[in-house]
């Protein structure tokens, strides 16, 4: 999962980014509204954390331009605690949720997880496909109840496929949502990680759909397995 953090306070930006990366996300950073708008307008993100008080272009204007251009990614805005009008303006501009400053990073992480789940049509933080269970809150995976050790890239790949159970996901989409904007998108690393992941989870849960991409579902299933809590 790929997140954009738009925050001009470099210490806060760095703190949020570090916590999101530790939780298993890929994170791009912007420090002003113009840079944030450009990245959100040209790169695919699963969620955006957007400060309202930004230089160059304020967060409300950034959000309004995204929405008017048809950009529908979930957006969590950061507002000043005593400015209720900012919260109203943010929601009216198209924000999906807000957190007031000063905030606890854990709350931001929880709200980001919730936004991504809702965007994927899931209510629970746990996803299941046969014996495979992924807990997005704890960033842990188990198979038949036994903990599974994955690298950060393997976890990101599995997490994205589990969030899109039963759907065909293209290689390009996986690359765009697993790596930042500086990644070499012509490399074959996705195929390598799919191969490694298949060996670790066992079975035939990740299907190669020739010419289209990959689909994760229970072997023999003709429909998308439901996420379970």
CATH code of the domain covering residue 132: 1.10.10.10
Question: Considering Cα of 136, then 156, then 194, then 161, what sign does the dihedral take?
Answer: positive
Torsion of CA 148, 151, 156, 161, to 10 degrees: -50
Mean of pLDDT over the chain: 90
User: Is 225 within a domain?
Assistant: no
* 222 located within any domain: no
Q: Which two tokens stand for residue 174?
A: 């996986």
Instruction: Give the Cα separation of 51 and 77 in Å (integer).
Output: 6
Residues 113 and 8 in one domain: yes
Model pTM? Answer: 0.83
Residue 228 in domain: no
Bridge partners of 207? Answer: 215
Count of CB atoms situated within 10 Å of the CB of 109 = 18
Taking the CB of residue 211, how many other CB atoms lie within 10 A of it? Answer: 6
Q: Which of 69, 92, 120 is the last residue of a domain?
A: 120
- What is the three-class DSSP state of 205? coil
The CATH number assigned to the domain holding 43 equals: 3.40.50.2300
Host domain of residue 107: 2-120
- Tens digit of each residue's pLDDT (9 = 90 or more) over 20-76: 999 999 999 999 999 999 999 999 999 999 999 999 999 999 999 999 999 999 999
In the listed set 120, 150, 184, which residue is the last one of a domain according to the structure? 120
Helices (H), 23-180: 33-42, 59-68, 84-93, 105-120, 152-163, 171-178
What mean pLDDT is predicted for residues 208-226? 77
Residue whose pair of structure tokens reads 């036994």 in the numeric block: 146
- Burial of residue 204 (CB within 10 Å: 0-12, 13-18, 19+) is exposed
Reply yes or no on whether the pLDDT at 9 is more than 60.
yes
When divided into structural domains, the chain yields a total of: 2
| pLDDT tops 70 at residue 228 | no
Q: Do 107 and 147 belong together in one domain?
A: no
pLDDT of residue 186: 63
Please check whether residues 177 and 149 belong to one and the same domain: yes
Whether residues 76 and 163 fall in one domain? no
Domain-located, residue 132:
yes
Cα–Cα distance measured from residue 176 to residue 106, given in angstroms and rounded to the nearest whole number: 26
Query: What contacts 24+ positions apart, CB below 8 Å, involve 16-25?
Result: 16/49, 16/105, 16/108, 19/105, 19/108, 19/109, 20/109, 20/112, 23/109, 23/139, 24/139, 24/152, 24/155, 24/156, 24/159, 25/1, 25/112, 25/156
How confident is the model over 172-202, as pLDDT tens digits? 899 888 887 766 666 678 899 999 999 999 8
């Amino acid at each position: 999962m790929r997140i954009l953090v738009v925050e001009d306070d470099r210490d806060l930006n760095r703190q949020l980014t570090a916590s999101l990366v530790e939780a298993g996300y890929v994170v791009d950073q912007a420090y002003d509204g113009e840079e944030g708008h450009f990245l959100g307008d040209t790169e695919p993100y699963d969620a955006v954390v957007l400060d309202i008080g930004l230089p160059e272009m304020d967060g409300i204007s950034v959000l309004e331009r995204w929405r008017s251009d048809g950009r529908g990614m979930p957006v969590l805005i950061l507002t000043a605690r005593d400015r209720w009008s900012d919260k109203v303006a943010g929601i009216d501009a198209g924000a999906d949720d807000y957190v007031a400053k000063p905030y606890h990073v854990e709350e931001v992480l929880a709200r980001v997880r919730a936004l991504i789940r809702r965007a994927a049509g899931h209510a629970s933080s746990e996803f299941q496909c046969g014996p495979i269970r992924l807990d997005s809150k704890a960033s842990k995976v188990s198979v038949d109840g036994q903990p599974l050790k994955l690298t950060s890239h393997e976890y990101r790949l599995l997490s994205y496929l589990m969030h899109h159970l039963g759907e065909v996901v293209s290689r390009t989409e996986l690359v765009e949502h697993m790596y930042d904007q500086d990644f070499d998108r012509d490399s074959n690393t996705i195929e390598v990680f799919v191969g490694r992941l298949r060996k670790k989870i066992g079975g035939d849960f990740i299907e190669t759909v020739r010419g289209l991409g990959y689909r994760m579902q229970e072997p023999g299933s003709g429909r998308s397995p439901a996420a379970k809590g």
